[in-house]
Amino acid sequence: MKAKILVARATFPDVIERLQQQFDVESNQDDKIFSAAELHEKMQGKDAVVITSSEKLSAEVIAANSHLKAICNVAVGYNNIDVAAATSAGIMVTNTPDVLNETTADYAWTLLMANARRVSESEHYLRAGKWKNWRFDQFLGADVHGATLGILGMGRIGQAIARRSMGFDMQVIYHNRSRLTPEQEAHANHARYVSKEELLRGADHLILVLPYSAQTHHIIGAAELALMKPSATLVNIARGGIVDDIALIAALREKRIASAGLDVYENEPALHPDFLTLSNVVLTPHIGSASEKTRRAMADCASANLVAALSGVQPPNLINPEVIQMK
């Protein structure tokens, strides 16, 4: 009898077809967003689930589905899953790291450039029919070349972002839970490790690239924003909740920092409506890894994790390897 799996969000049809060759697949190609109750119902009798960051698997949901063998997340971050509860239940949890590093780093630069040069604001001005003449001081932005790039969270994506700064002759400063090796720092445009306070005070452009956890919740709040230069820009491509959105809105409205570029938000997709009233913020709907090549690589990675887990082999991207020791 084939193992039963649930693919909770729409994906590429050929990925579903490949999975159907090995498993009894229930897929959600209509891409309906399941409520907690609907997701719980769909998970009944399944051996594994493939989910995205939009599906929240709490300790209660996991306890009610302890028959699962694997939870395969199509994302790098996994704060949507109570991993401790899954581990206690003997359920393997996997993610899709590495395959999206370069694409996400590209997108960080997309937001940085749009943010610094006021691309979104000036486009809205043009589209509204307000551009009547050229002016010498129109939409003056911030230079990127020769500026100081600050990176909070210097994992693989952070290092990929830093490497791209070489072509802009930037100085790179960073803060991370642990310092990189001298070789890694040299490869990341000779990035210099600094304290969090020095990072905030020194960066002309600050990019956030750290995972969400209880420890990083609101790691950028009113106090941190107050340390930044009034001319500084902020980019968040990491996770909502790392930034206190209400504090950021206040800082942007009062021009205590120049601008922000955001791809993630607290309570997304229900972002705070006050963001929509601000001209000095670039807003995008969580598309940092959204190139076709990369999203295919993520789907393939999640599929490989699933196949391994249900074949009795340790998945290549197992988050909680202690589960293997429990079996």
d(CA 170, CA 184): 17
d(CA 121, CA 119): 6
Q: Are 69 and 309 in contact (CB under 8 A)?
A: yes
Distance of CA 46 to the CA centre of its chain: 28
Q: How crowded is the C-beta side of 172, counted as CA atoms within 13 Å?
A: 26
d(CA 212, CA 200): 19
Let me know the angle formed at the C-alpha of 258 by 252 and 261, rounded to the nearest 5 degrees: 75
Write the CB contacts of 6 (distance below 8 Å, at least 6 apart in sequence): 26, 27, 28, 42, 43, 46, 48, 49, 50
d(CA 79, CA 77): 6
- DSSP letter at 243? B
Which of the residues are catalytic?
239, 268, 286
